[in-house]
Structure 1
Amino acid sequence: MTGIFDYTASGTTVVMSRAIRRAVAFIDSSFAQPVSLATLAATAGLSVSRFATLFRKEVGISPHRYVCLVRIQHAKRLLRDGVPPSEVATEVGFFDQSHLGRHFRRAVGVTPGHFVASPEAVSACR
Structure 2
Amino acid sequence: MTGVFYDCAGDRTVAMSRAIRRAVAFIESSFAQPVSLATLAGTAGLSVSRFATLFRKEVGISPHRYVCLVRIQHAKRLLRDGVPPCEVAAEVGFFDQSHLGRHFRRAVGVTPGHFVASPESGSAFR
CA RMSD, 1 decimal: 1.3
Instruction: Return the letter of the residue paired with 1:84.
Output: P
Q: CA deviation at 1:5?
A: 2.0
Report whether the alignment pairs 1:78 with 2:92: no
1:33: which partner in 2?
A: 33
- How far the C-alpha of 1:124 sits from its partner, in A, is 2.6
- Counterpart amino acid of residue 81 in structure 1: D
Distance 2:3 2:38 in 1: 20
Identity of aligned residues (%): 88
Q: Distance in 2 between matches of 1:18 and 1:76?
A: 29
In structure 1, the gaps of 5 or more residues are: none
CA distance in 1, matches of 2:32, 2:42: 19
- Are 1:97 and 2:97 an aligned pair? yes
Specify the alignment match of 2:12 in structure 1. Answer: 12
Counterpart AA for 2:72:
I
AA aligned to 2:2 is T
- In structure 2, the gaps of 5 or more residues are none
Aligned residues: 125
| Residues 18-75 of structure 1 deviation map (CA, whole Å, 9 limit, x = unaligned) | 0000000000000000000000000000000000000000000000000000000000
Hey, what does 1:118 align to over in structure 2? 118
- The TM-score with structure 2 as length reference comes to 0.94
Displacement of 1:123: 2.9
**Superposition deviation, residue 15 in structure 1:** 1.2
Q: Report if the CA contact (8 A) 1:116-1:122 is conserved.
A: no
The structure with higher relative contact order (CA 8 Å, sep 6+) is 2
Contact 1:3/1:24 (CA < 8 Å) preserved in 2?
A: no
The equivalent of 1:42 in structure 2 is 42
- Normalising by structure 1, we get a TM-score of 0.94
